[in-house]
Structure formats: C-alpha cells, structure tokens
Amino acid sequence: MEDSHQIDELDRKILSLITRNARIPYLEVARECKVSGAAIHQRIQRLTKMGVITGSEFIISPKRIGFPTCAYVGIFLDSAHLYPDVVTQLKKIPEITQCHYITGGYSIFIKIYTRDNEDLKHVLVDKVQAIPGVSRTETFISLEESFNRQLPLE
C-alpha cells in the first residue's frame, strides 16, 4: 500500500470490521471503535478516495448458481506485445472471473467457472484458445477452495 503511512489504528480497526461483514451498519462500527457515526462515515470516504477501499459487493456462490467447476488456466502468448489485445478478448468471456499478467512460464493466468468439465473444454477450446496470439494453455482444475480471505489488518 503506497499510502499505508496515512492509515492509522482506527482505520485498521474499521477495515477489519467491514471486511468481516460488509453489511455492518456504520453506527455499529462506531460503537466498536468508540467514535461517532459521522467519524466512521468520513474515514470510510477518505479510505475510498485513497483507493484503500475499492468497493463493496455481494459474493455469489458459483456452485449455488450452477457453476461448480473452477479452473485456473495458464496462458502462453505468441508474443508479449499481444497482451493488451488478448486481455480485451478475455474480458468478453463471462466465465472468466480473474485475469492476471504474471511472471514465470505463463504470460497470463486466469480463473474460470463452468457448469462442468465439458463446458470447461468448450470455453477453453472455442473461446480462450481461439483468441489470436494465444499459443497454448495449461489447465488446473480446483478440487476444493480451502479458504479465500482478505489480508489481515490487526
């Protein structure tokens, strides 16, 4: 965090509370932090403007909506300069939920949710591998997500 020197203990406590429960009322955060609701509101606005808080969202379970197959895919590019064009095409594939430009053997690493292995094959062959500049892919199917968490703040 570039601006971490501007985050004090109260900010850390606020962040800890809201990352555990994004729906927690500001007044409850204020009670926990022993400050006013207005102070909490101002702090959260400041943290948002600083880019520390980048949003709030409801997390939908892919399994509960019919997408139980999770895979991670390493993508090899014909040339590194094709990265922006390939990412533009990857954004058009709704099954892809994350995309990272990485170091190491792959150029790009993506996370995909599909209905089953047959659907995964379709997404890989007909969508991802069909993108100009993608030379090949390597797929890892996730058997279970053991945990998924925010960085610790306390």
Q: How far apart are the first and last CA of the chain?
A: 15
For 15-30, what is the mean pLDDT? 93
Q: Is residue 55 part of a domain?
A: no
pLDDT at residue 4 greater than cutoff 70:
no
| Sheet containing 69-77, strands listed edge to edge, beginning at the edge strand earlier in sequence | 96-101, 108-114, 69-77, 134-142
In a domain, 131, yes or no: yes
Q: Are residues 75 and 125 in the same domain?
A: yes
For residue range 41-50, list pLDDT tens digits in order: 999 999 999 9
What pLDDT score does 58 carry? 84
pLDDT tens for 52-106 read 999 888 889 999 999 999 999 999 999 999 999 999 999 999 999 999 999 999 9
Give the count of domains, the chain.
2
On whether both 72 and 138 belong to a single domain, the answer is yes
Say whether both 79 and 137 belong to one domain. yes
Q: Could you tell me the residue range of the domain that residue 89 belongs to? A: 63-142
Say if residue 5's pLDDT is above 80.
no
Residue 1 has pLDDT above 50, yes or no: no
The pLDDT score that the predictor gives to residue 151 is 85
